[in-house]
Amino acid sequence: MIKKLKRNHDNHENLCTFSPIFRLTKSTNMSTKTNVVSAEYFKRYINVVKEDDAMEALENNLKSFLKFLKRIPRKKVNYAYGEGKWTIKQVLQHVIDTERVFAYRALRFSKNEGVDLSGFDENVWGDNTPVDQRKWKDMIDEFKHLRKSNTAMFNSFTKEQWILSGSANNNMLNVTALGFMCAGHVQHHVVVLKERYLG
């Protein structure tokens, strides 16, 4: 049973409380790295994931990312390390947007449409997504709920769906790869934030 969390705007412990909305199940070994089909470009996200199972990676990554976000000082969230660079808030918005794109690709591929999906321009999206007035807590909550929803979706896939593939921006991918990419993309930006913003 999930306990109702007390709302407290001065204490953000609740942002890092992870209560699974379902019991994690393994997808008969079809969600492992041995079944990944990915263009070389996306392997930079897959290779940073230490887990061998995408479902385990998605859950562990959410827990660690929420803890990481909690440790970022509130006074730093509008900081950018150079002119023309994204602020920490903008980086989180990018992570949210990309999570949606990767999950959408997985959903489309899982239906075996044989589609060729278009790419997206992260810089254009960033320029057209104002975050200055957004509350940091709301953005964290948005990512938390988004990842939980996406994890539930991946958890619903059959062993046949995990290995279905398609093309995104002229790059071949399968559903398994996209599961790892959701976790790996977050981890990639955690490293960037630590090295360039919080170091």
The full set of domains in the chain, from first to last, is 39-197 (1.20.120.450)
Structure pTM? 0.85
Query: CA 171: distance to chain centroid?
Result: 19
pLDDT surpassing 90 at residue 66: yes
pLDDT surpassing 60 at residue 74: yes
Cβ atoms of 158 and 31 within 8 Å: the answer is no
pLDDT surpassing 90 at residue 114: no
pLDDT surpassing 70 at residue 17: no
pLDDT surpassing 80 at residue 9: no
Least Cα distance to 180 among 117, 93, 102, 65 occurs for 102
List Cβ neighbours of 18 (8 Å cut-off, separation of 6 or more).
59, 62, 63, 66
In percent, the amount of the chain with pLDDT more than 70 equals 85
- Give the mean pLDDT of 56-79: 97
pLDDT value of position 115? 82
pLDDT in tens, 144-198: 999 999 999 999 999 999 999 999 999 999 999 999 999 999 999 999 999 999 9
Q: Between 89 and 19, name the one with better pLDDT.
A: 89
The amino acid that residue 191 corresponds to is: V
Query: CA 10: distance to chain centroid?
Result: 26
Distances (CA, A) of 165 to 32, 110, 115, 190: 15, 8, 9, 28
List Cβ neighbours of 155 (8 Å cut-off, separation of 6 or more).
22, 24, 25, 27, 55
Cα 199 from Cα 195, distance rounded (Å): 5
pLDDT surpassing 70 at residue 99: yes
Highest average pLDDT, of 4-8, 29-33, 154-158, comes from: 154-158
Least Cα distance to 173 among 86, 89, 184 occurs for 184
Residue whose pair of structure tokens reads 């964290």 in the numeric block: 140
